[in-house]
Structure 1
């Protein structure tokens, strides 16, 4: 009987109805938040699809003797596939490795948390949270870049070589009569190039390669600054950050080198990427906020000699035996009482 009583005393208590309702309400809040965030991601993706597949860039005129758009066509040094690997695959690998090592060193690798009825590893949840922040900022940067490209419609440096414009009056830019003429009505012959190539010649400002590269790689550099905090990681962290920034810098420089962008396109694109990374890291991921454990307890509180305070402020009007060094004698004490 005693053993049975001990077993009953050590058995976990069944959750009460109030606890069950509280847990259910918490799960509903999490589900609602995830649904709203997913909806926002979809809303941010829609403008990108519309710009890429349904909108024509602004059609602007040009001077036939404008040397800034007469560069020869050359292939991309950093191709779109390479850009995707730099700004997508590389950050993903870094996020996975850092979060795994962080959970391993803190002893939380085997800990789990319940999310929408599923038991998931804690570091999986943290990894998903970091990827969500990164993807949200990436979409914001992409949207800002696309709005600029299709609104401005600036001509690329190799516009004449790819478009091969033919004026509506039948003349060409090479004819002497059109030497200083501003051309607005023209058609692109584009011999040897596809329709997509001709369309791309009007999407110079700002540089998409520069904005995406600087956003993704600068954000990862800030992420490493926040996460690589264990001992002897100082030089390793800064070396990795330098490599990431140099990859973004080289990507931006290659756009001018390949005559795909003017220098001002690259400058503005880089600024868009840097601004997006800083805003996402500061206000969304909150990388610059100190965790609670880093705040020294009692910081900013003034320490005082309480005994001196008591002697000066209390003892002057309080009879013994509550104060030391009192000048009251026994007769005076009796009168005070």
Structure 2
């Protein structure tokens, strides 16, 4: 009678594939960062040239110049730096609170056999993943938002509300010109597909990239990412208003940042709406599907109120207010 011997998977082969995966992740992330740089900080990738209607009022808004309500350095700092600050403060607050009371339990509880404190593992979870060589996950999401937004801009070539102001069209290049007291002009209500712009090339390139709005994309990505973290990973005992106020404040800042693009005539309302949906969708996917926010965790033996026990790795950070 034949005997069957159970074959266990080799542990060594699984571990030997880890360096390859690390280099593959770093290679893919480097390619993502490079593509984001080429899309938003250079003019190497051409934009689809869209035509316009002669004397289109929707494209004749004034150009307010380089000054903006939300400058680009502030936008990038809030999109890439603010989530890290919130996560670090949220994860270290309970540790510092317990140290101040002198009632800190085993915060240096080892993770597996690596001797990593629990709160450091949570920081890795929310800003990266189990691979210490992989960059922050929220940074990966921000670069993904930059790439998707940039691809949408160069592929659609949507014209900004101030396009005609920076285009300075030379109507003498048209086959049919209408005479007026101010000089040659285009025939009203005619569609112009020729490139007759005589303005500054840099401003024209930016004016052809209106949809989706980059300000709206990054603002809503960072706001929704931080709001989901604050809702799922922070538990404030003793108050019921601080957490909702924090979430509503983040969403309000994102709304104001996106709305400023419309009030300054830099984007259309549909551009802002498209960017907001794109940024929020990326944040929701990373927070819920990848990080597992709001996922129900199994009960841990011994972790009953009054019985002590070691909290699980994904246990929410608790800040008790007097």
Give the TM-score normalised by the residue count of structure 1: 0.71
Distance in 2 between residues matched to 1:37 and 1:243, nearest whole Å? 34
Note the alpha carbon deviations across 1:298-319, whole angstroms, 9 max, x for none.
xxxxxxxxxxxxxxxxxxxxxx
Q: Secondary structure at the match of 1:245?
A: helix
Q: Is 1:276–2:276 an aligned residue pair? A: no
Q: Name the residue aligned to 1:88.
A: 80
Distance in 1 between residues matched to 2:119 and 2:45, nearest whole Å? 41
Distance in 1 between residues matched to 2:226 and 2:85, nearest whole Å? 11
Query: Greater helix percent: which structure?
Result: 1
How many residues are treated as equivalent by the alignment?
A: 271
Q: Is 1:62–2:52 an aligned residue pair? A: yes
Determine if contact 1:165/1:187 at 8 Å carries over to the other structure.
Answer: yes
Determine if contact 1:153/1:202 at 8 Å carries over to the other structure.
Answer: yes
Distance in 2 between residues matched to 1:123 and 1:31, nearest whole Å? 25
Q: Is 1:251–2:241 an aligned residue pair? A: no
1:166 to 156, 167, 170: 170
Deviation of 1:43 (Å)? 3.1
Deviation of 1:154 (Å)? 0.6
Deviation of 1:218 (Å)? 0.7
Q: Secondary structure at the match of 2:299?
A: helix
Alignment of 1:115-194 (within 5 A): 121-131=117-127, 132-167=136-171, 168-169=173-174, 175-190=184-199, 194=200
Q: Secondary structure at the match of 2:196?
A: strand
Distance in 2 between residues matched to 1:27 and 1:236, nearest whole Å? 45
Q: Name the residue aligned to 2:3.
A: none
Deviation of 1:150 (Å)? 0.4
Alignment of 1:13-92 (within 5 A): 28=16, 31-52=19-40, 53=42, 54-74=44-64, 75-92=67-84
Give the TM-score normalised by the residue count of structure 2: 0.74
Determine if contact 1:112/1:119 at 8 Å carries over to the other structure.
Answer: yes
Tell me, which stretches of 5 or more residues in structure 2 are unaligned? 1-9, 99-103, 128-135, 304-322
Q: Secondary structure at the match of 2:62?
A: coil
Distance in 2 between residues matched to 1:108 and 1:249, nearest whole Å? 42
Q: Name the residue aligned to 1:204.
A: 210
Tell me, which stretches of 5 or more residues in structure 1 are unaligned? 1-20, 298-337
Q: Name the residue aligned to 1:13.
A: none
Say if 1:245 and 1:179 are closer, same or farther in 2 by CA, change over 3 A.
same
Alignment of 1:285-324 (within 5 A): 285-293=291-299
Distance in 2 between residues matched to 1:255 and 1:61, nearest whole Å? 22
Q: Is 1:100–2:92 an aligned residue pair? A: yes
Distance in 2 between residues matched to 1:49 and 1:62, nearest whole Å? 29
Deviation of 1:110 (Å)? 3.7
Determine if contact 2:161/2:268 at 8 Å carries over to the other structure.
Answer: yes
CA RMSD in angstroms comes to 3.1
Note the alpha carbon deviations across 1:62-106, whole angstroms, 9 max, x for none.
012210000001132111111112212221211111111244557
Note the alpha carbon deviations across 1:136-161, whole angstroms, 9 max, x for none.
22222222211110000011000011
